[in-house]
Structure 1
């Protein structure tokens, strides 16, 4: 089988015998079903005619488990879900087979729980692609997964032991084995790299919360309805603007750390990524998310092709010889060769500024560059912002 650009040769891409049935139910006529009539272990309801949706997490856990503790019923004078502190007793609903992710220990039980955690968030059709990411030192590898996800995730974790690798997953589904915004499919999630923000300051509170290092968190929200990937991105960005978090972490291509694995960043002492909250009940998507003002340029973001556009290719040829070798290699790269995306973008912009490129040309190149797309998605406003910020930093004249 031919290798895909930017994808490990060992990536698990099984042959697929059929394709899911898509239904257009949203006002924007975006496909709102990447789900399917699958084996019972993966079955999801069909999202048709705008009807109410019960997500697969709810269905699968109801079928598999009867030992989950019931959530405390609301009584007058007690806090509701959105009012209660997220971390206070947040592990009360964590299913038994995910409990090893809360202990702060690695081992077979934690590895099996990590597999279950990821697979439960991927109840998609067999030919829909999902992604794991592994990092060892400066080497990053994407692992597209379709078909038997449980076996595929287990194989990746077996080949990349947590003692030596950082492991990541993307919660969102994709139509092709390349993790690009243009391939993102409709989903029922919002996601946020909460970082050092207060997890108790989010309203609504995240359904799933895990600690990636002391005092730093990531979270996922489970909604009752499925929307286009672009709208899911906007809602994730609105959460970040309203309540805090990494402002560059709202793209549908966002990779999050897998609970039960080790954070190998040099500034930390190898902390275990620990699950803190797990509430499987989907929430009603707040209407207020659509009314939050986003930065200019996010309302109608163009879909960027995996290959450079004619304009971008011409611009690269125009300035390539006047740039240094490292910046030129990063500018023309079609896949990420390292993991420091911010540094790569900085080198590209500085190299093009020194070669005399105007801001408009630099932005076009960034919107076709894998380092920029992987960190910020195809966001023209962010491209303009980065170019202006870096130019101001180095004092380059326009």
Structure 2
């Protein structure tokens, strides 16, 4: 076992980072890029664990020795991870990291700052981060994570060493899931359906409710035979995504409210101090922002599953090699092939991307964007 065991199908990355841990090619700033689910943040955290470990993360006790375990568990005093549930990472959050970066580590190794979703940094946050990276502390290491290098300002990425992760193959993901206790057949399904997204694959392999929701989404193309059914599919997808997002955030919201009340002594004293009102308003605003982000994330995942059906139809129609992502609904895919052309299905994928952009970039209401998309995807009549 080692700290790298969570990285699936990333042997070149592991070799490069292990070499840096050994002192060859080490630098103060790193940029981890790769498609969603490839393990960008996992790679950064594993790298941090290896840097803090006296044995480089591959000793006999790793990853269960103290240094490795505390980094992987998120409790190491010299490793900070900034992750956001909001739509962006603001300058105040980055300034706090910059302040911490200026301090000497408590231990005898590195002060490590990991920024997940670095593509969500605001312009002000980027400027604050750039100054810190330009003037590095000798024992501070920055690790930024983003989907692509283009998602990070050129002035920042030019000062970072690039680490590019790839999408693991279905066989690699299935092997990983079997190692975690999944049944081989279910692991194979989850590996295909997740399209290389490790977190999604784990959820599909071990959570029946997740599998059921995905099956409902991938069955949509075959149902889009009338305007009414298009409206129904849009409403159902938006509602289901909202319910799932609310279920995820409700418990966290309640726990944060309890913690806030306790910190201001509301329960013990039976009254609210003057400072409580603004603090509660700020918390509720942050929770609304997080709920919106989570809702969009769940919808976005559904759109990815929807695109996979049209991708399968194109692959089947053109005789492309390889297994279908949605082998379990091959009959529906064959129906799409019979009722439309590869060119039309490629345009449909473009319409799904357009709906995604409307929601994520232009703040178009989810229901409206989905209704417009479903009408565009409707199966042509008379084919």
Q: Under a length normalisation based on structure 2, what TM-score does the superposition of the two structures give?
A: 0.28
- Which one has a larger percent strand, Structure 1 or Structure 2? 1
Q: Under a length normalisation based on structure 1, what TM-score does the superposition of the two structures give?
A: 0.27
Larger radius of gyration: 2
- Which one has a larger percent helix, Structure 1 or Structure 2? 2
